[in-house]
């Protein structure tokens, strides 16, 4: 049902720079967020496995150009994984890391 909600006005229709990709994972045995910089095959597979509506791409069959674009992105863009503890609210810590990493500013400087 979530795909039936009209959201055309929420999309950006012009090119914007991609400064990085962040995958969010929930982990049972940690107490604060942890961040990993992915490399190599893990980086590429994370990009390929987190494409929006990937099931449509897989249904249409493998496309070498699609995979080639994923490889190009993996070469140019850093890919991170944020591990967050299950059951704890860590949005503020995640946002602080995102702002510091991608905006180069601490949360206090943004207020």
pLDDT at 88: 92
Residue 30 placed within a domain: yes
Supply the range of the domain harboring residue 49: 12-110
Is 101:20 a contact under the CB 8 Å cutoff?
yes
Average pLDDT on 78-91 reads 95
* Residue 47 in domain: yes
| Residues 39-76: tens digit of each pLDDT | 999 999 999 888 766 555 554 556 677 788 889 999 99
Is 104 among the domain residues? yes
How many separate domains does the chain show? 1
Interval 77-94 mean pLDDT: 95
- The conformation of residue 91, written as its DSSP 8-state character, comes to H
- Rounded to whole angstroms, the Cα distance separating 8 from 5 reads 9
5 located within any domain: no
Query: Predicted confidence band at 106 (pLDDT cuts at 50, 70, 90)?
Result: very low
Q: What percent of the chain has pLDDT over 70?
A: 79
Give Cβ neighbours of residue 84 (< 8 Å, ≥ 6 apart). Answer: 24, 25, 26, 27, 30, 33, 90, 94
The total number of residues shown for the chain amounts to 111
């Amino acid at each position: 049902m979530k795909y039936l909600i009209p959201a055309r006005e929420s999309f950006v229709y012009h090119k914007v720079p991609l400064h990085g990709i962040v995958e969010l994972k929930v982990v049972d045995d940690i107490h604060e967020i942890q961040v990993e910089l992915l490399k190599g095959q893990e980086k590429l597979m994370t990009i390929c496995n987190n494409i929006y509506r990937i099931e449509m791409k897989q249904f249409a069959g493998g496309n070498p150009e699609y995979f080639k674009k994923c490889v190009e992105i993996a070469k140019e863009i850093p890919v991170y994984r944020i591990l967050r503890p299950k059951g704890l609210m860590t949005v503020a810590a995640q946002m602080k890391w995102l702002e510091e990493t991608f905006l180069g500013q601490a949360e206090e400087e943004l207020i």
